[in-house]
Chain A
Amino acid sequence: MTNFSKKLLAATTLAAVALAGSAGLLAAQEKPVIATVVKISGIPWFDRMNTGIVAYQKANPDVVASQSGPATADSAQQLQIVNDLVAKGVNALAVVPMDPAVLEGTFQRAMDRGIVVVTHEADNQMNTNADVEAFDNADYGAALNERLAECMGKEGKWTTFVGSLGSRTHMQWVGAGEENAKKYSGMQLVDPNNESFDDANGTYEKAKEILRKHPDIKGFQTSAGNDVLGVGRAIDEAGLSGKVCLVGTGLPNPSADLLESGAITAIGFWDPQKAGMAMNAVAKMLLEKKQLTDGMDLGVEGYNKVSVKKGAGKGVLILGNGMVLADKATYKQHMF
């Protein structure tokens, strides 16, 4: 019997070790809680967003703001986190949906319970109070493609990468890119919409395949945050830096080496830090029952004069002007 209880004790202690840390974090909280949930935690993009949440918390001590996200890129895992936060009883959710469609049911239940829901990168979300976008997605996709076309000399084969076929913003960007490329008859799109799953290594392998299949390819337009790194590495290793153009969404710090070597032509981005702050600012305004008006100032750089439109569902769509395109010459102004 003692043996059994010892074993049982050992097993439960192991579990307890994993849980010990949580006790301290759970002091009784009277202040409204705004929980930010990102697509996946531990990648540079959402680490940067976390700095925004931390900064927002510092500037607004009258709310409790924190960020969490799944360890794997799976919409079901994100769904569980949101479910648990709803059950825990947070006051507002600020979510960057992995897949807006999967979260509809949960958001509906959350809103029925009086929880404020704010989303980002999901302008088709039906069940949200407000969706915050850094810019108009079509404009962004077209701007990326215009930069690519300029580098390619407006002709040659090019291809596109998206995080996943279900990632709506990515599809909008490459869609707007394709639309833009139609202006130039010399540009020929080959094997479009490669899925990268935001994995630099997988993207690297895929880009190598494409370089082998189309030795004369001239351009890549990529979408997920890690795509430029994977494709850039493939271009760099093939000795094609400067010969093949690469324009895509990426962050300055991780892309710095490849920008310097010329493997990446230009990166486009919006600052996730500011987006996180903007989401929380909107959530707080909604908690305080303030009106969201066209042209209002969220108090965040790039969101000083936002346009407020009717959203896909009951909520509103808030568009900022936070687009940044940076190349070798200009990326140093935005080091993160």
Chain B
Amino acid sequence: MRRTGGQLAMLVAINLFLLAVGALISGSFLSVFNLQSMASQVPEIGLLAIGVMLAMCAGNGGIDLSGIALANLSGVMSAVIVTSLFSSTESATAFSLAFILVALLVGLAGGLINGLLIARLNITPILCTLGTQMAFMGLAVVLSGGKAVTVGSPALLSSIGNDMIAEVPISFLIFVLVAALVAAAVKFTPYGLWLMLMGTNPKAAIYAGFPRNGVLIATYALSGTLSGLAGVIIAARNINVKFDYGSSYLLIAILIAVMAGVKPEGGYGRVICVVLSAIALQLMSSLLNFGGLSNFVRDFAWGLLLLTFLAVGRYDITGFIAPVRRPAIPSPPVPQASK
């Protein structure tokens, strides 16, 4: 696929450019510590963005708005359940493992609910996930009583949030590993093929005998599990979990997906582009914080970046790589309504 190359090149160029600007304006921007700091900030939002990408690829207006709410619910529910079973200081490993397991299960369950509602009851994804988003958030409020729930820093969990392997934050390694797994699933399994083809033409997919419901449920379940994992990473980094954490992530995750060239109408998206796009947003936001600029400038810059990508996306991107003269006729004649 040629067009993917264009988007990828563009994202790589932007990342390199941002790194270069960072190096130019502040010596400490490329310091190992800052690179680690930025790398450990990416996973939460990056995982959510991959979830949004999968939902978008499924087509038929697919989107997952419940991501961050489900991530918070996973963290809160897991913290409430697991702290009643284990002590985070005495049995640190058992606590950590149980916390991770329960959070992932809650994420999976939430995703399954989304998938079942969308596939079986044919609810429009945007409405369904808006509803479940509120339900998840409400449940997290009820479970936690509106307060932050303390997870603490038991050894294993704390090392996920704070430690490095070969100078790379563990949370970032987990993110890259999971992204690679999802990418492989999309590229090499029948599921991935079904997902993309179904997104391209849902009707044809049904007539071709694709397991439509199965693919939809699997997609949202996967997205939910990614949210659960994001919940684990949030808990590991912040020591506490709270129902309203990251309320701005909802739109940022969609922004990342669209910037990565994921087609909102379905059928196309690449995980590597989503990862690069998440990194680009992180670089830009850190850059502005380094520069001491107002955060309103950041919103402005993000918006500008998104519009640029959308504008560029309007053109045939293959034209960038090997310019091809397009036919002079701008569009096929619109069929007129006849009497």
Which positions in A face B, CB cutoff 8 Å? 1, 3-4, 7-8, 10-12, 14-19, 21-23, 25-26, 41-42, 66, 68-72, 74-77, 79-81, 83-89, 99, 101-106, 108-109, 164-166
Contacts and interface: CB of A to CB of B under 8 A. Distances in A.
B24 A23 contact: yes
Contacts of A105: 153, 161-162, 237-240
B294 A68 contact: yes
Q: Interface size for chain B: under 10, 10 to 19, 20 to 34, or 35 or more residues?
A: 35 or more
A41 B291 contact: no
A74 B31 CA distance: 28
Nearest to B40: A83
Contacts, number: 183
Interface in B14-54: 14, 17-18, 21, 24-26, 28, 31, 33-34, 36-38, 41, 44
B287 interface: yes
Contacts of A21: 291, 293, 297
B248 A104 contact: no
Contacts of B304: 14-15, 17-18
Given A1-B323, A19-B25, A72-B247, 12 more contacts: A12-B17, A18-B300, A70-B295, A80-B285, A84-B37, A84-B285, A84-B289, A86-B37, A99-B242, A99-B244, A105-B239, A109-B162
Top 6 nearest A-B pairs (CB, nearest first) are A22-B291, A101-B148, A165-B146, A4-B320, A84-B289, A101-B240
B295 A89 contact: no
Nearest to A23: B25
B91 interface: no
Say whether chain A's binding surface is mostly helix, strand, loop, or mixed: helix
B37 to A, nearest CB: 4
A221 B221 CA distance: 44
Given A1-B323, A22-B25, A26-B25, A15 B18 contact: yes
Contacts of A76: 44, 245-249
B141 A68 contact: no
A77 B150 contact: no
B141 A165 contact: yes
Contacts of A86: 37
B188 interface: no
A84 B286 contact: yes
A195 B146 CA distance: 11
